[in-house]
Structure 1
Amino acid sequence: MVTPGAVVQRRQLRTELKKARTKAGLTQLEVAARMDWSPSKLIRIEAGQVGVSRNDLLALLTAYGVTGQDKIEYILELARASRRMPYREYRGLFDRSTMDLLEYEMAASIVRAVQPLLIPGILQTEEYQRALAATYSPDTSGEELDRLVEAQQQRQELLERDSRPEFFYILDEAAIRRWVGGPGVMKAQLQHLKELGSRPGISIQVVPFSLGAHAGLRGSFVLLEFDAEMDDILYLENPLGEAAFSDDVSRTSQFLEDFWELERLVPREDLPRLVDRAIEEMSEPAGATVPNEADGEA
Structure 2
Amino acid sequence: MAMTTNLGPIVQRAMLSGELLRLRRLAGKTQEEVARQFDWSTSKILRIEGGAVSVSTPDLQALLRLYDVTDATELERLTGLAKGTRERGWWQNYPLDSPDFRELLGYEAGASYIRQFEPSIIPGLLQTPDYARIIVREFVGDLGDDQVDALVDLRIRRQDYLADRDPRPYRFFILDEAAIRRQVGATLPHGRSIMPRQLRQIAEQSEDESMTVEVIPFAKGAHYGMRGPIVLMEFDADLGEVLYLENHRGRSRILTGREEEIIEYRERFEDLRTWTASPADSRDLILKAADEMEK
Work out whether the TM-score is over 0.5: yes
**Normalization by structure 1: what TM-score?**
0.87
CA pair 88-206 structure 1, distance change in 2 beyond 3 A: closer
Contact 2:196–2:294 (8 Å) recurs in 1: no
Cα pair 1:90 1:151 within 8 Å, conserved: no
Structure 1 residues 272-287: aligned runs within 5 Å? 272-282=283-293
2:227 to 202, 210, 218: 218
Deviates more, 1:114-123 or 1:92-101: 92-101
The structural deviation recorded for 1:263 is: 2.2
- Residue in structure 2 matched with residue 270 of structure 1 by the alignment: 281
Spell out the pairing of 1:65-144 with structure 2 (5 A cutoff). Answer: 65-93=68-96, 95-144=98-147
Q: Of 200, 210, 213, which residue of structure 2 is paired with 1:204?
A: 213
Once the two structures are superposed, residues 220-245 of structure 1 have per-residue CA deviations (whole angstroms, 9 ceiling, x without a partner) of 11121222333222222233332212
Could you list the runs of 4 or more consecutive aligned residues of structure 1 that deviate by over 6 angstroms after TM superposition?
A: none
Q: Tell me the equivalent position of 1:168.
A: 172
Q: Is 1:192 paired with 2:192?
A: no
Q: Cα distance, 1:54 vs. partner?
A: 1.0
Q: Tell me: CA distance 1:14–1:159, structure 2 relative to 1, closer, same or farther (3 Å).
A: closer
Q: What is the rounded CA distance, in whole Å, between the counterparts of 1:58 and 1:193 in structure 2?
A: 48
Q: CA-atom RMSD, angstroms? A: 2.2
Instruction: Look up the match of 1:291.
Output: none
> Which blocks of at least 5 consecutive residues in structure 1 are unaligned?
285-298
Partner residue, 2:42? 39
TM-superposition CA deviations, 1:143-197 (whole Å, max 9, x none): 1111111121111114544631111100111111223222332222112121111
The match for 2:262 is: 252
**Compared with structure 1, are the counterparts of its residues 28 and 160 closer, same or farther at alpha carbon in structure 2 (3 Å cutoff)?**
closer
Counterpart-to-counterpart distance in 1, 2:272 and 2:145: 39
SS of 1:148's partner is helix
Alignment map for 1:236-247 (pairs within 5 Å): 236-239=245-248, 240-247=250-257
Cα distance in 2 for residues equivalent to 1:229 and 1:219: 28
The Cα offsets for residues 121-160 of structure 1, whole Å up to 9 and x where unpaired, read as 0100101111011112342111111111112111111454
CA distance 1:159–1:242, change in 2 (3 Å): closer
Q: Distance in 1 between matches of 2:102 and 2:90?
A: 8
SS at match of 2:273: helix
Which of the residues 151, 154, 163 maps onto 1:151? 154
Cα distance change of structure 1 residues 160 and 70 upon mapping to structure 2, 3 Å threshold:
closer
What is the CA-CA distance between 1:91 and the residue it aligns to? Answer: 4.2
Distance 1:160 1:50, change over 3 A: closer
**Separation of aligned partners in 2, 1:108 and 1:88:** 15
Aligned residue identity for 1:217: M
Query: Which whole-Å CA distance do the structure 1 matches of 2:95 and 2:263 have between them?
Result: 34
- SS of residue in 2 equivalent to 1:245: strand
TM-score in terms of structure 2 length = 0.87
**Structure 2: segments with no counterpart, 5+ residues:** 187-191
Pairing partner for 1:54 from 45, 54, 57: 57
How big is each residue's C-alpha offset from its partner over 1:235-261, in whole Å with a ceiling of 9 and x where there is no partner?
222333322122216433333332223
In structure 2, what is the equivalent of residue 180 of structure 1? 184
Structure 1: distance between partners of 2:243 and 2:163: 24
SS at match of 1:93: coil
Bigger shift: 46-55 or 225-234?
A: 225-234
State how many pairs are aligned: 284
Aligned-residue sequence identity (percent) comes to 39
**Please, which of 61, 66, 69 is the counterpart of residue 63 of structure 1?**
66
- 1:203 shift after superposition: 0.9
